[in-house]
Structure formats: structure tokens, C-alpha cells
């Protein structure tokens, strides 16, 4: 096997064709897997009716996906380092294909539930591995742009997944939607098998539990680890936690249509896509410290604006700024996460994702309690302050060694 050069001989030029191909394939895998994340949400009443199950019980399908996705990240990371990151991604895509069709053919709720559990586990093995691939392939001075493309692919999947599932669910049913996503994952799997043939990145470490322990020790010895992991957990809790309550807040403002809630939430993903298109210019203009501070400011002011009643088109703009700000800050933090322990990069990026998913699990609890006991303004006000402080602390503490190039 040969390893593709990551850049031109000068070290500052464009990525090689082989490297660009690998990154494009990993982005495709990230896009296809992200379609599964929210696919069932708009079809819960259909599933409940067809499988003769209570809708509240069917809603547990979301939890069945998210919890395994978060809990097994610390396991999947070392596996990626042991067997190879692109190999793990390919295996996980194959599992998603199988589970797409298993879910579509599920004869009862229990089978569908377990298919979602396995789907969550497999999805959790794709994006962290994709981040680690970018860390292996791309010099650090170009990595911000490369990772923004991976984020954009995932956001595009999230942006299209929910409305696509809702629209197609009315036309072909929930089984047809799961089968269609399975077919899309099959296309990504075939592309990965063909496109990644003969490509070697950082050599796989092989099965060595001692190396796993050593890798985690190396990660946590790095003073940046607690900043990176703590920051993304706070993002998940105090910023992402608002999303389950968007429809409720819009209803309180006189907008009961679920479709409008979906459009408003899509504004967040659109903000991420816009950021990915201009990331290279923003990085040149603001630098990493400027991106952290500007992103925190965007998120903080957007959260504060949510507390003020406004027509839903204005809410779209607020969530667009929220998304743009999130990816400004989150993208920089991800760069540092890929450098915590280069020899255990799969483990480091998996812990990064696990921390974020832990925040996602806590966030709805925080917002639910805050909205019920303190009200909207104090709840989002505290969230805004946390985002301001998080961005400021990251801008002061995350510094790259001059030896990292």
C-alpha cells in the first residue's frame, strides 16, 4: 500500500488528488450516516400506528439511537486506531446498510428498537474516524477548511434528513424511508470500498490493549484535553439543548405549524453550510482566536434574541447566526482535538464526540427545567453567558505549539 502525500512538496500548497479523494469519500460517508440521525422523528405517529405501539414508547427510538452513539465512542476510537480508520468507517457503513433494511422490514417494535441501537453504534464510528482521517491527511494549517467540509456534509445530512423523512414518509411510508436511506448508505459503502482501495494513512496499531491505555494517558496528559472536551460538552448542553423546544416556543408565539419549526431549525444547519463556504477567508481574516471569540459572540447574541418574541422569518435568521457561530467555535476546537495525541487520534476524536453527545443528553433536561421554573429569558440568558465565557476561555488557553505544522 502507498500513502498519499498530504500536500505539495512545498508543504503549503494544495492537497494531493489522492488525499482529496479520501476526504471526499469520508465526507460522503458522514453525509449518508447523518441521514439516519433524525429520520424517525417526523414518522413516530406512523410507526406507532403500524406497529400498534404507544407513540410515547416509539419516541424512545431517538434515545435508542443517541445513547449507544455516545456511550461507545471511547471503545470505537481505539478500534479505529487498531484496525485503521478508513476500515472502521467502511465496516460501519456496511452495518448501516444492513440495519436500514432490517428496520424497514421490522415485524414489531422490538426489532425496530434494536436496529436503531445498532444504527446508533455504527453511526458513532463514522464521524470521529472521519475527523481522525483529516488529522492524518491534512497539515494543521489547512485542517480548518478540511474539517469544515466534513461538518458541512454532516449538516447537509441533518438539514435534508428530517424534512425528507417527513415528506417521503407521507408518500412511501416509514419503511420506504428507512430502505431509501439504506440504499444511500449502500452507495457510500460501495464508493468507500472502491475509492479507499490501496490507500494507507497512519499505520494501524494492531490489537494492543496496553497501547489503548497508553493512548488515553497521552490524551489526558495534554492540558488542552480538558478544555476541548469540556467546551464541546458545554456547547451540547447550553446551546444544542434548546432544539427540542423550538416548536413549543414558536407555538407560544402564535405559530403552531410543525413545518415552520422544521424550517427554523434548518436555519441552524444553513448557517453551518454558509460558514463552511467562507471558512478559509474567515480564518485568514480573524485567525483561530478571532473565530473562537466571534463564534461565541454570535451564539450568545442569537440565544439572547430567542428570548424576544419575533415572527418566524426572523427566527430563521437568529438560528442561522446560531449555526454559523457554533461552527466557528466548534470547528477550531475540533482542530485541537485532532492534535491531542496524534498516535491515538481515533481515541482522541471519539472522546471529543462522546463529550459533545453527553452535552446533547443533558441539554434538554437543563432547558426543560429552566423553562418550567425560571422562564425563557433567564434560561437562554445563562446559556448565552456560558457560551461567551467558553469562547473566551478557549481563545486564551488553546495555543498551538510552534512544532506543529
pLDDT number for residue 250 = 83
pLDDT number for residue 386 = 97
Tens of pLDDT along 261-283?
777 877 887 888 888 888 888 98
Q: Does the pLDDT at position 237 exceed 70? A: yes
pLDDT number for residue 15 = 60
Lowest-confidence region among 96-100, 190-194, 211-215: 211-215
The DSSP secondary-structure symbol of 8 reads: -
Closest C-alpha to 89, from 354, 359, 349, 361: 349
Q: Does the pLDDT at position 10 exceed 80? A: no
Averaged pLDDT for residues 343-349 = 77
C-alpha cell at 315: 427566527
Closest C-alpha to 94, from 19, 178, 29: 29
Name the band, by pLDDT with cuts 50, 70 and 90, for residue 385. very high
Q: How far is 40 from 101, CA to CA, in rounded Å?
A: 14
- Per DSSP, the chain holds a count of helices (H) and strands (E) of 16, 0
| Percent of the chain residues past pLDDT 70, beyond the cut | 85
Q: How far is 400 from 224, CA to CA, in rounded Å?
A: 10
Q: Does the pLDDT at position 219 exceed 60? A: yes
Angle at which helix 60-71 crosses helix 73-83, to 10 degrees, equals 50
Question: Please, are residues 275 and 210 in contact by the beta-carbon 8 Å criterion?
Answer: no
**Which of 7 and 66 is assigned the larger pLDDT?**
66
309: left (phi over 0), alpha (psi -120 to 50) or beta: beta
Strand partners, 199: 2
Name the band, by pLDDT with cuts 50, 70 and 90, for residue 2. very low
Name the band, by pLDDT with cuts 50, 70 and 90, for residue 210. low
Question: Please, are residues 40 and 101 in contact by the beta-carbon 8 Å criterion?
Answer: no
Averaged pLDDT for residues 321-337 = 91
Give how far Cα 267 sits from Cα of 94, 226, 237, 323, 329, Å.
Answer: 31, 31, 19, 7, 17
Lowest-confidence region among 300-304, 324-328, 353-357: 353-357
Averaged pLDDT for residues 171-186 = 89
C-alpha cell at 173: 411510508
Q: How far is 174 from 365, CA to CA, in rounded Å?
A: 29
Strand partners, 225: none
Lowest-confidence region among 12-21, 167-176, 393-402: 12-21
Give how far Cα 273 sits from Cα of 159, 297, 331, 340, Å.
Answer: 10, 19, 12, 27
388: Cβ contacts below 8 Å, ≥ 6 apart = 296, 297, 300
Tens of pLDDT along 116-165?
899 988 988 887 777 777 777 777 677 767 777 777 777 677 667 666 77
pLDDT number for residue 357 = 78
C-alpha cell at 329: 467555535
DSSP states of 151-169: HHHHHHHHHHHHHHHHHHH
Question: Please, are residues 282 and 289 in contact by the beta-carbon 8 Å criterion?
Answer: no
Lowest-confidence region among 59-68, 278-287, 307-316, 363-372: 59-68
Q: What is the dihedral angle through the alpha carbons of 260, 264, 265, 267, rounded to the nearest 10 degrees?
A: 140
Averaged pLDDT for residues 390-395 = 96
Amino acid at each position: 500500500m502507498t500513502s498519499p502525500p498530504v500536500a505539495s512538496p512545498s508543504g503549503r500548497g494544495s492537497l494531493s488528488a489522492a488525499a482529496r479523494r479520501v476526504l471526499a469519500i469520508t465526507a460522503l460517508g458522514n453525509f449518508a450516516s447523518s441521514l439516519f440521525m433524525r429520520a424517525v422523528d417526523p414518522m413516530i405517529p406512523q410507526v406507532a400506528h403500524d406497529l400498534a405501539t404507544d407513540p410515547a414508547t416509539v419516541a424512545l427510538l431517538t434515545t435508542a439511537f443517541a445513547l449507544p452513539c455516545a456511550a461507545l465512542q471511547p471503545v470505537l476510537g481505539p478500534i479505529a486506531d487498531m484496525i485503521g480508520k478508513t476500515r472502521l468507517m467502511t465496516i460501519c457503513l456496511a452495518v448501516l446498510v444492513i440495519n436500514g433494511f432490517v428496520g424497514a422490514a421490522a415485524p414489531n417494535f422490538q426489532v425496530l428498537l434494536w436496529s436503531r441501537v445498532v444504527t446508533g453504534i455504527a453511526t458513532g464510528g463514522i464521524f470521529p474516524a472521519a475527523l481522525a482521517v483529516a488529522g492524518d491527511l491534512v497539515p494543521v494549517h489547512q485542517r480548518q477548511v478540511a474539517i469544515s467540509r466534513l461538518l458541512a456534509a454532516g449538516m447537509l445530512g441533518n438539514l435534508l434528513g428530517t424534512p425528507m423523512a417527513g415528506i417521503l414518509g407521507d408518500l412511501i411510508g416509514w419503511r420506504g424511508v428507512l430502505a431509501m436511506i439504506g440504499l444511500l448508505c449502500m452507495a457510500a459503502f460501495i464508493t468507500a470500498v472502491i475509492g479507499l482501495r490501496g490507500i494507507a494513512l497512519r499505520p494501524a496499531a494492531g490489537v494492543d490493549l496496553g497501547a489503548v491505555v497508553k493512548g488515553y494517558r497521552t490524551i489526558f496528559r495534554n492540558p488542552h484535553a480538558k478544555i476541548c472536551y469540556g467546551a464541546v460538552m458545554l456547547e451540547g448542553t447550553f446551546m444544542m439543548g434548546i432544539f427540542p423546544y423550538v416548536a413549543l416556543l414558536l407555538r407560544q408565539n402564535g405559530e403552531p405549524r410543525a413545518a415552520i419549526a422544521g424550517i427554523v431549525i434548518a436555519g441552524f444547519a444553513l448557517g453551518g453550510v454558509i460558514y463552511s463556504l467562507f471558512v478559509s477567508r474567515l480564518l485568514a481574516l480573524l485567525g483561530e482566536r478571532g473565530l473562537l471569540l466571534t463564534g461565541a459572540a454570535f451564539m450568545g447574541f442569537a440565544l439572547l434574541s430567542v428570548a424576544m418574541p419575533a415572527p418566524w422569518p426572523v427566527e430563521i435568521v437568529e438560528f442561522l447566526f446560531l449555526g454559523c457561530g457554533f461552527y466557528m467555535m466548534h470547528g477550531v476546537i475540533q482542530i485541537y482535538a485532532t492534535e491531542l495525541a496524534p498516535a491515538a487520534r481515533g481515541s482522541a476524536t471519539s472522546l471529543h464526540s462522546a463529550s459533545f453527545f453527553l452535552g446533547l443528553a443533558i441539554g434538554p433536561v437543563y432547558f426543560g427545567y429552566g423553562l418550567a421554573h425560571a422562564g425563557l429569558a433567564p434560561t437562554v440568558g445563562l446559556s448565552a453567558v456560558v457560551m461567551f465565557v467558553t469562547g473566551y476561555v478557549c481563545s486564551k488557553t488553546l495555543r498551538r505549539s510552534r512544532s506543529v505544522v
